[in-house]
Amino acid sequence: MGAVQWYFFLPDGTKDKRANPEDEWDWTQGPPDLRRLRPARDPKSTAKSRHVPVRAYSVTMGKHLHLESGAEHDLLRIVDRDPRVEIIAAQPLRLQFSKGNSHIPDLLTVSVDETVTVWDVRPAGRVNDKLQRDAELTGAACREVGWDYQLWLGSDLRERLKTLWLTCARDRPSWADQYVPVLEQAAQAPGATVGHLRALDDGSGELTSTMWHLMWSGHIIVAKDMPLQDWTPVTWRGVES
How far apart CA 9 and CA 23 sit, in angstroms, is: 9
- Among 152, 178, 209, the domain boundary falls at 152
Q: Which of 105, 130, 152 is a domain's end point?
A: 152
- Report yes or no: 222 and 229 within 8 Å, Cβ to Cβ: no
Give the span between the Cα atoms of 229 and 101, in whole angstroms: 48
> Are 72 and 139 contained in the same domain?
yes
pLDDT digits (tens, 9 = 90+) for 84-115: 999 999 999 999 998 888 999 999 999 999 99
Residue among 233, 216, 203 at smallest CA distance from 173: 216
The answer to whether residues 163 and 138 belong to one domain is no
pLDDT band at 187 (very low <50, low <70, confident <90, very high): very high
Last residue of a domain, one of 102, 121, 152: 152
Say what the pTM is.
Answer: 0.87
Residues 24-77 have pLDDT tens digits of 899 988 999 999 899 988 877 766 666 678 899 999 999 999 999 889 999 999
Task: Determine the Cα–Cα distance for residues 185 and 21; give it in Å rounded to an integer.
Answer: 52
Instruction: Report the alpha-carbon distance of residue 55 to residue 76 in Å, rounded.
Output: 11
Identify whether 241 is part of a domain.
no
Domain containing 17: what range? 5-152
Q: How many domains does the chain have?
A: 2
Backbone angles phi, psi at 164, to 5 degrees: -60, -45
Mention every residue, 6+ apart, whose C-beta is less than 8 A from residue 107: 72, 75, 76, 79, 88, 89, 90, 92, 118, 119, 121
